Amino acid sequence: MDRANRITILSQMNNLRRLPAFQPETPTTKRYHEAWRQKSASAEDRILEIAELAYILHEDGFPAPEIFKRVGSVYGPARLLKRDRWTDPLRCYLVDHLRTHDAAYVELGASLLNAALALARLWAEIFAQQLTSSNWPPSDMLTEREENGFDALDDFLEGASARDVRRLKARAIPGDELHGYSTGTLSWKAMMGSAGFALVRGGKSIDHIETMMN
């Protein structure tokens, strides 16, 4: 499937939580529709984030065992993948992870999981390529290195920013630094300001988390 078709599919779906609406309503599916709405609304958010992290770490050059070791370190423990499960390590990891953290979702059946994962893969591939090719924020916006290192991000492990915090921590390697950044006085006066933290490798930003904007 080419990039244009992927973007078309993704544009038709703003939120993976809408996925059950695409399943035909039958006596069989009605049961798991109700269970999904009651218990598992967050499971597909987790599928999407883990897929994003896996694809980003793949773009960073990590092998499968290290990818899922890093994912597990920031998103709750899951059993390490055995070598015989590396054919589709993302799906294997997700099944293990969901059995631990959201068993109700796994019980809804493989078809729902497979559909959610297929959509997550489409988005994750595009997102990973865009993120790893970006150098935002530019070097002239970086401020001093954070003395507390990546512990400085712990205050943002709640709400919408938590996803970005986990991504930065998962990508970090020895020698990386955490710097603050700001778009500067003029941008704030124009109500277009942005500030936050940047993951810096070799003097260049490779990822960031926005913590303030106007």
pLDDT at 33: 55
What secondary structure, in 3-state letters, does the chain show?
CCHHHHHHHHHCCCCHHHHHHHCCCCHHHHHHHHHHHHHCCCHHHHHHHHHHHHHHHHHCCCCHHHHHHHHHHHCCCCCCCCHHHCCCHHHHHHHHHHHHHCHHHHCCCHHHHHHHHHHHHHHHHHHHHHHHCCCCCCHHHEEEECCCHHHHHHHHCCHHHHHHHHHHHHHCCCCCEEEEEECCHHHHHCCCCEEEEEEEECCEEEEEEEEEEC
Who wins on pLDDT, 25 or 118? 118
Q: What is the pLDDT of residue 210?
A: 93
- Give per-residue pLDDT as tens, 75-85: 876 666 666 55
Q: How far is CA 164 from the centre of its chain?
A: 7
Q: State yes or no: pLDDT of 146 exceeds 70.
A: yes
Per residue in 166-201, pLDDT (tens digit) is 999 999 999 999 999 999 889 999 999 999 999 999
| pLDDT tens, position by position, 184-193 | 889 999 999 9
- The C-alpha atoms of residue 208 and residue 168 are separated, in whole angstroms, by 7
Share of the chain above pLDDT 70, in %: 76
Is the confidence at residue 66, as pLDDT, over 70? Answer: yes
* Confidence band for 34, pLDDT divided at 50, 70 and 90: low
pLDDT of residue 16: 47
Least confident window among 7-21, 90-104, 129-143: 7-21
Q: Which residue has the higher pLDDT, 2 or 163?
A: 163
List the chain domain ranges.
3-132, 139-213
**Residue 140 above 90 pLDDT?**
yes
SS (H, E, C) 126-171: HHHHHHHCCCCCCHHHEEEECCCHHHHHHHHCCHHHHHHHHHHHHH
